[in-house]
């Protein structure tokens, strides 16, 4: 859906950032600690984006308003177990 495109673009940008961080560690321009710290932030934000996209799709599929979907707190999306 067209309304989901900005979320999908943000997901792609985060994945690109993840790849850049891994490359920066390999070429020595950042430390392993810095890479891990920044990767954790990227991974949490990615999880939030994927969760938002799933919420929007579910609302749309079941006749709801996808614009009612909201970004959930990291503790919620990181706590999913299955």
pLDDT at 82: 57
Residue 13 neighbours by CB under 8 Å, 6+ apart: none
Domain range annotation of the chain? 2-77
pLDDT in tens, the chain (82 residues): 778 999 999 999 999 999 999 999 999 999 999 999 999 999 999 999 999 999 999 999 999 999 999 999 999 998 776 5
Residue 3 has a pLDDT of 86
State both tokens at 38: 């920044």
User: 76 with 44: CB under 8 angstroms?
Assistant: no
Residue 3's H or E segment, with its range, is none
């Amino acid at each position: 859906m067209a309304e989901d495109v900005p979320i999908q673009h943000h997901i792609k940008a985060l994945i690109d950032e993840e790849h850049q961080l891994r490359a920066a560690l390999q070429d020595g321009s950042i430390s392993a600690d810095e890479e891990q710290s920044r990767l954790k932030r990227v991974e949490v934000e990615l999880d939030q984006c994927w969760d938002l996209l799933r919420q929007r799709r579910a609302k749309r599929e079941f006749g709801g308003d996808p614009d009612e979907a909201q970004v959930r707190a990291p503790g919620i999306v990181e706590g999913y177990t299955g």
